Amino acid sequence: MTLAEFWPQCLRRLHDTLPVQQFQTWVAPLTVGEENGVWVVYGKNQFAVNMLKNSFAAAIEAARAELAPDMPALLFKTGKGQAYAMAQSVSDGQSEEERPSEKEAAAIKATPKKSARDIVAERMKQLPPEGAQPKPAEAEAKPAAKPKSETAQSRQPARPQGETHHSQTNLSPDYTFDTLVEGKGNRIAAAAAQSIAENPGQGYNPFFLYGSTGLGKTHLVQAIGNELLKNKPDAKVRYMHSDDYVRSFMNAVRTNSYDVFKQQYKQYDLLIIDDIQFIKGKD
């Protein structure tokens, strides 16, 4: 079996077993190639590769072992290879006699879909035990955490990098998914954030992060904005502290320019407000 024959069938298997959003976010964008006789699955960045290894590598390898047992184990790395269309489902090529009966089809259709709560619960069960050491590949890919308080990070101005988006968006170019320190406490939030960056407004809208100070919430929300700008340079993104948002609103009230205020914020494709809890209790 060739790689061009294997990968479409592997995609079909994953499509039929994974939740739709999970498949579209993580599996569909994958590409494949061959290096020195070994099949390679490419993720577009290290964060995607880590998610691939943690959540989908076992299923992909199981499909390889069944469909192409003569091939060595797959490699997973960053890069870009060849994209293939997903193979048709078995039912697409079935004869009338082979297709399920109306009663069987109704039973399949009636099977309840997993809720977001169920999916998160299942994902959490797959995480390593508390205190477990990260895999060597993951440890190498993640830099040490910066000993700064989150509040200080959220107020830190973006560093100028020539003529870039960051001066207009207020984002720091340092906060990306590649530099995010991933662990049990933030893995689900990071997966949702990556999904937002790839398809803003399609899910998790609004997206609300809750956690103690210094756990990387500012890093994660800014990573969404930086990733969106990398994929869509023309996107309008704005990051601000809640104090700035309140100040902007109060100025609109004082100057009776609420319509201008609304238009200003409606133009953004992605609005990120840090420390939103400080709005609590304000009229």
CATH of the domain at 157: 3.40.50.300
- Confidence label for 175 from pLDDT (cuts 50, 70 and 90): very high
Q: Which helix (H) or strand (E) holds 17?
A: helix 3-17
Residue 169 and residue 246 share a domain: yes
**97 is a domain residue:** no
Mean of pLDDT over the chain: 78
The structural domain count of the chain equals 2
Domain that holds residue 214: 142-279
Write down which residue in 91, 106, 123 finishes a domain.
91
Q: How far apart are the first and last CA of the chain?
A: 66
Write down which residue in 57, 72, 91 finishes a domain.
91
* More confidently predicted of 167 and 47: 47
Residue 262 and residue 186 share a domain: yes
Give pLDDT, residue 145.
Answer: 46
Per-residue pLDDT at 21 exceeds 90 = no
How far is Cα 183 from Cα 189, in angstroms, rounded to an integer?
10
At 191-204, the pLDDT tens digits run 889 889 988 888 78
**Long-range own/partner contacts, residues 86-90 (CB < 8 A, 24 or more apart):** 86/8, 86/11, 86/12, 86/15, 87/8, 87/9, 87/11, 87/12, 88/12, 89/12, 89/16
Lowest mean pLDDT among 54-63, 143-152, 241-250: 143-152
**117 is a domain residue:** no
**35 is a domain residue:** yes
Measured between alpha carbons, how far is residue 213 from residues 81, 160, 161, 216, 218 in Å?
A: 40, 26, 28, 8, 10
SS3 240: strand
DSSP state, residue 277: G
**38 is a domain residue:** yes
Mean pLDDT of the 127-156 span: 46
Give the β-pairing of 38-43 and 31-35.
Answer: antiparallel
Give pLDDT, residue 161.
Answer: 39
Whole-model pTM over 0.75: no
